Amino acid sequence: MAASVWELHCHGGRVVAQALLAALSQQGCRIVDWNEACRLTGESAIATAARQILANARTARVALVALDQWHGALADAIASIIAAMDAGGALQADARLAALLARSNFGLHLGDPWRVVLAGRPNVGKSSLMNALLGFERAIVFDQPGTTRDVVTAQTAVDGLPVALSDTAGLRPAGDAIEQQGVALARAQAATADLLLFVEDASATPTADDAVLAAEYPNATIVLNKVDVASRPWEASERLVPVSAKTGEGIADLVRHISRRLAPDPPGPGEAAPFTAAQCTSLAEARRLLRSESNAPAARAVLAALLQ
């Protein structure tokens, strides 16, 4: 950092830090926030944003990707696109922009966990499955239908990916007003999830209602629970994962499946990934302008602004 700017790290809680800042302030020091400190040191907006992700990283995997961006992976990628444009390589620049934007979903979740929702009919073992995935009892498990009436959410990590895992009320024609509201919340959560795990009971005879519910969510992963007491064996497929929340059978396979669904093409070590909404918007706008020959200079200007 520049000689006039200092970043201090001290032992102790907030009281100690506040006392230290007060003492320094009395000696004529000016206390500034991160944004101003980075501006004073000439740090780029990309590096500053990466610092903020690093400070709040929920997993080591998130921290490593953010650290790559702080070290210049994204800035270097943008600079190479500008260089390609300057050399007349519009097609090459467009391909590189497309590759960057393809990683935007991963990057945006560095600071905002993926939302994985468990849904299905009552008594299929959603709450037990949630507890099995978390490794501790977060949701109440009881064999009476309608036990879960609210959305129960817990923060966890799946293969280093930050995840907000939610258990929801069983989907059925609800009897009372409270359960009806729970079912409505469950449907709302299912509609907006990054990944929906539709849980079914492998030990029960499939019904027409099961088929109707599964058809409502064609992009969901079907999790067949209770395979330990099923009358026949089940094999996994691209969309179906058999498990037993009670014995743990298949849970590791489900974790790997969730990771692949959430991050099918994650950035490798040292690779670039846009990680803020503003970056993604600018990259998309630059690509739109680049694909219009008369606006290629404008596309270059949008990209250059990202490097400031």
Work out whether the CA dihedral 30, 33, 34, 39 comes out positive or negative: negative
Q: Global pTM?
A: 0.81
- Would the pLDDT of 141 be above 50? no
- Dump the DSSP string for 260-304: HHH-SS---TT-----SHHHHHHHHHHHHHHTSGGGHHHHHHHHH
Output b/e per residue, 124-139; b: 16+ Cβ within 10 A: bbbbbbbbbbbeeebb
Query: Could you tell me how many residues make up the chain?
Result: 308
The parent domain of residue 104 ranges over 44-108+273-306
DSSP letter assigned to residue 120? E
Same domain, 235 and 132: yes
What pLDDT, on the 0 to 100 scale, is given for residue 174?
A: 59
Count Cβ atoms within 10 A of the Cβ of residue 244 and give its class: 0-12 exposed, 13-18 middle, 19 or more buried.
buried
The 10s digit of each residue's pLDDT in 165-214 is 999 988 876 566 776 777 788 888 889 999 999 999 999 888 887 788 88
Mean pLDDT of the chain: 88
What pLDDT, on the 0 to 100 scale, is given for residue 263?
A: 97
Total domain count, the chain:
3
What pLDDT, on the 0 to 100 scale, is given for residue 136?
A: 61
Widest CA span of the chain, in angstroms? 77
The residue assigned the tokens 């009395």 is 26
Same domain, 225 and 195: yes
Same domain, 240 and 132: yes
User: DSSP 3-state assignment of 124?
Assistant: coil
The 10s digit of each residue's pLDDT in 221-253 is 999 999 999 878 888 888 899 999 999 999 999
Q: How far apart are CA 254 and CA 261, in angstroms?
A: 10
Half-sphere exposure of 160 (CA within 13 A, CB side): 9
Torsion of CA 219, 280, 54, 51, to 10 degrees: -170
CATH number at residue 226: 3.40.50.300
The 10s digit of each residue's pLDDT in 9-68 is 888 788 988 898 899 889 888 888 867 776 777 789 999 999 999 999 999 999 999 999
Same domain, 102 and 211: no
Same domain, 90 and 189: no
> What is the rounded radius of gyration, in angstroms, for the C-alpha atoms of the chain?
25
